[in-house]
Amino acid sequence: MSEGVPAIGFIGLGVMGSGMCANVVRKHDGPVHVFDMSEAALQAMVDLGAVKSGSVAEMAKAASVILLSLPGSRQVAEVSDEIAAHAAPGTLVIDLSTTGVSDTRAVAAKLTAAGLRFVDAPVARTRQAAIDGTLSIMVGAPEALFAEIAPVLRTMGSDVTLCGEVGCGQVVKLINNTLLFEAVAGIAEMMVVAERAGVKAEKLIEVVGLGSGNSFALQNHGPKAMAPRIFPTKAFPSAYALKDLGYTIELAEQMGVDAKVGRLAARYYQAAVDAGIGDKYFPAIIELVDGTAP
């Protein structure tokens, strides 16, 4: 980054982006320019002190560091092309989205060719963690650039980790998510088995939590969503899980690995979409196991 306090841009103020951006606005000493298709989301950030941008092009001309929080690879590629057409040389693009690894590296190559810089920095943990500024952020960047951007990332995350060169942040994020989705599928099956065999879900979580079958998924998704069958619609849905699993399976194929477990988990999340419950919080796949899905 250039000397002094950089002007930051933030594109994408959705479920995760709104919380992340709010922390940047509160903690960054310089101006924060924001853009989103939602006027309500924009106004919420303006009310906190952000500067509204009327377009990606307008932001690209105003900010020297641009953060992206977008739905997937296609949106990141499209927005990055627009940034490249209008941004000054040396502008840094930090992608907080979850995208395919090959897609990430292709965007990085295009931006580099245009004289810009690119870092992938996907995030993990919950919407509440985005609000609280306690996300885990996995970064793909050269070491010198990581040191340069870490202060910005720490406005949003309590754990900011360099995973390797560009694309490696996405590698770790996709594997993290895939392991979670696989674990939730296994818990869904075994929780229904336990319930039908006479063991309450809450007791299963308690006792397995004392043994080697314990996991983050069991202790978090189990009591908060799966045992009480509470699956809010404005959370991470099965459709998003499918997207991430697709990226991971693609990566596995490129690395010469047949991700059989990932494919099996993807069948559950696809079935949730097909059953009309794909907009619910993704642990709702337990409804497919217990037969309560439509």
Helix (H, G, I), strand (E, B) or coil at 200: coil
Helix (H, G, I), strand (E, B) or coil at 280: coil
Q: How far apart are CA 199 and CA 261, in angstroms?
A: 27
CA quadruple 169, 100, 14, 84: dihedral positive or negative?
positive
In angstroms, the Cα distances linking 45 to 11, 73, 169, 215 are: 12, 25, 27, 36
Pair 94, 66: CB distance under 8 Å: yes
Buried b (16+ CB within 10 A) or exposed e, 145-158: bbebbbebbebbbe
Catalytic site residues? Answer: 173
CA quadruple 48, 54, 55, 57: dihedral positive or negative?
negative
Q: One-letter amino acid identity for 90?
A: G
Helix (H, G, I), strand (E, B) or coil at 155: coil
Q: How far apart are CA 215 and CA 140, in angstroms?
A: 27
Q: Torsions phi, psi of 183, nearest 5? A: -65, -45
Distance of CA 272 to the CA centre of its chain: 20
